Structures are given as structure tokens and as C-alpha cells.
Amino acid sequence: MGGRYPHMLLILILLHGANAAIDAPVEKWQTLDGRPPLVIARGGFSGLFPESSKFAYEFAMTASLPGVVLECDLQLSSDGVGFCRSGLTLDKSTLIAEMYPKKDKTYKLGLEDIHGWFAVDFTSDELINNVTVIQTIFSRPSTFDAMMGMYTLDDMAGLHPQQIWVNVEFDGFYRDHNLDIEDYLLKLPKDYPIAYISSPDISFLKSIGGKLKGRAKLIFRCLADNVTETSVKKSYGEILKDLKSIKAFASGIMVPRNYVWPVNNNLYLLPPTSLVKDAHALGLEVHVGSFANDILTSYNYSYDPAAEYLQFINNPDFTVDGLMTDFPPTASGAVACLAHNEANALASNGERPLIITHNGASGVYAGCTDLAYQ
């Protein structure tokens, strides 16, 4: 048969492989729903490309797990079009100041005066056609700077990600400028796969919660524990002590890393808090962010970003429900390949496989140089 029907044999082998994959035992994750933790790409693959740009979102989708969630920090232009860009001003992450040198403003945000270029002072046409985006973190590649215009939420939805995460940070500011984020979100086409809406603003979450009719999960985004939430006038650290009260207006929380794994002053890990277990006991999801490969968070990880993800998803006590990251391919690798894989970590002779560098770390530095070999 192999001779006359060579393809048949191949198909049989493939079918067998597929069956084996289906029969393989599914690892039990200690997430709230038992599914693998989500990889949430903050502004797409923002570790490499300018955040929330076409390339950042496209590469996040091609280089991550199929279910990668694309995150968008929502801003509105003067004509009410939704753009993805973090922060409140545009001048740090775009070249808007060069294009419109005289359109900077100073506005109040709470009690603070903020100076810069604001989306609310520009039409969507101006932002799409005339304003290009750049990398905000200067140690990251500037290769893709000034190549792409600002990206709208519609553009991003057009890439057909499985799930979208919208973060709303400054609802009150937009209302002061007669723009209504809640209204914008409620009027989005029903087929946009918006799975999560997060905000650090409790009044916003409470207000939109009643109107969403379950179309998206609401996530309370906790800022640093000494920062005060403006609508209830308590610090985020204090609010988190009463998880039951959060359950009343959100399906989950998004917290900085140290809420789960605190570090001491010397950047060594302390024992974990009980936050994830406590929240899961109440039925609240726990997402953690924002991870990045190029920041030092604790020496316990030995400068290995994958080790850090594993600390949050592959420990005996809990798995967080989502990892928000600037480097979604690394988080994807940790979830799909490294977690629950301790038994396979060693080669058959019980030793770690040999890693042979090609001219040193030649992907980062020029090959065969002292930096690459170090």
C-alpha cells in the first residue's frame, strides 16, 4: 500500500497524530475556570513595535498563542472616534508635536495640570493621516518609528483577534470635553469580540456595568497600592482588602505583580500573598500586568522573563487568569511549552540539553564580539 498509495499512508500517520493530541490529558490549571491563563498583549507586541500600532497588533497575533487577547488603551478624538494609545497625552508616543507645534494645551486632570497634545483637540482624520507613532521606551528599537499612523479600535478589530481587551483610564477627562466613552463602547458593533473592559475608575465600572448586558467582563484595574481611587477616595491597597465589595461591580481584577508576589528592598521575592486564592474563592478573576522582558523585577528570576511568568502560572498553589505583557511571544511560550513540563526539562540521560550559541548572543549584539559572548 505504501508503494501505490504513498499519500494514504501519510494521511493515516497524520490522523493518528491528531488522535493522540486529542487524547492527551488536559493539564489542570488553577485558574478560575480551569482554562490556560490568557496572554494579553498590551498595545500588541509593544516590546518591539510602537505600542498599539498596526505592526504591534499584527505581530502579536502571528507570534503568540492563537487565543492572544489584544489590549487597547482607549482614547477618543474630537469627533468621537476610538483610538488605541496609552496615557492621556499623545506627544510621548507620536510625532504630533512636530506636525502641530502650536496645538499643545494644558488641562486639569483632577487637581493636577497636565500639559501636552491631547486626542480631544484633533479630528480622527488628522490623527490617522498626519500623526505617526513612535516607540516610547528608548531602550527599545526605534526601527519602526514614524512609519505608521495612529491605529483605531476599528482597525484593530479588523484584524479579527479572538478577544479584545479595552482599558478605559480617563473617562472623567473625556466627559469634561463632552465625549462619552461609555456611549462609544455601548454603540460598538455587536460582532466586535470585546471580551474585557478594564478601568481603575469604580464609578465608570458601576455605570457601564448595568448597561452592558453581559457583553463583556468588567475588570477593576488596581494601580499602585498607595494611589487613591478618586470616586471612593480610598487607596487601591485598601480597596483590595475588601474583595467582596469589588465583586459587586466587576468580574475580576488586574493588579501589578507585587500584589501577588511581593519583593523586598533588595529585589528578592517574598512569599506570595493570598490574593489569587482569596479572589478565586469569591469567583473573581485575577489578571496581572504589565510584564516585559526588558525590566528587572526580581533577582529570583535570574534575568529570565519566562521564569517570571512561570512563577505566576506554574506554582503549586495558584495560577493567575491572565498575563498582560509587552512581549506576548515570551508569555505564550511559558504558557504553551514551559508550564507543566518539568518532567521533560531534562534530556534522557538526565542532563540539560547542550545550548550552543551561534556567535554568542548574535540576535541582540553583533556576532563574535565581546558583548555577544558575554
Ligand X SMILES: *[C@@H]1O[C@H](CO)[C@@H](O)[C@H](O)[C@H]1NC(C)=O
Interface with ligand X by CB under 6 A: which residues?
A: 125-126, 129-130, 224, 226-227, 268-269, 300
Calpha distance 229→178 (Å, rounded): 23
Residue 150 or 202 with smaller CB distance to ligand X:
150
- Name which of 308 and 321 has its Cβ closer to ligand X: 308
Nearer to ligand X, 224 or 337 (CB): 224
CA separation for the pair 69, 255 (Å, rounded): 17
**Cα dihedral angle (233, 239, 241, 246), rounded to 10 degrees?**
140
Q: Judged by CB, which is closer to ligand X: 19, or 274?
A: 274
For residue 288, how far is the Cα from the chain centroid?
9
In the complex with ligand X, which residue's Cβ is closer, 71 or 155? Answer: 155
Measuring CA to CA, which residue among 322, 319, 302, 298 is closest to residue 310? 319
Pairing mode of beta strands 69-76, 217-221: unpaired
Type of residue numbered 315:
N
Q: Is the distance from CB of 42 to CB of 325 less than 8 angstroms?
A: yes
Question: C-beta of 112: minimal distance to ligand X in Å?
Answer: 12
Shortest distance (Å) from residue 41 CB to ligand X: 27
- The rounded distance, in Å, linking the Cα atoms of 303 and 295 is 9
Within the chain, what is the greatest distance between any pair of CA atoms?
80
Run of H or E residues at 245: helix 243-247
Q: Which is nearer to ligand X, 12 or 224 (CB)?
A: 224
Q: Looking at beta carbons only, is 178 or 226 nearer to ligand X?
A: 226
Residues 59, 110: Cα–Cα separation, whole Å: 37
Among residues 223 and 361, whose Cβ is nearest to ligand X? 223
Q: What whole-number distance in Å separates Cα of residue 129 and Cα of residue 334?
A: 38
Q: With contact defined as beta carbons under 8 Å apart, do 39 and 328 qualify? A: yes
What the block records as the C-alpha cell of 60 is 502579536
Q: Are 135 and 120 in contact (CB under 8 A)?
A: no
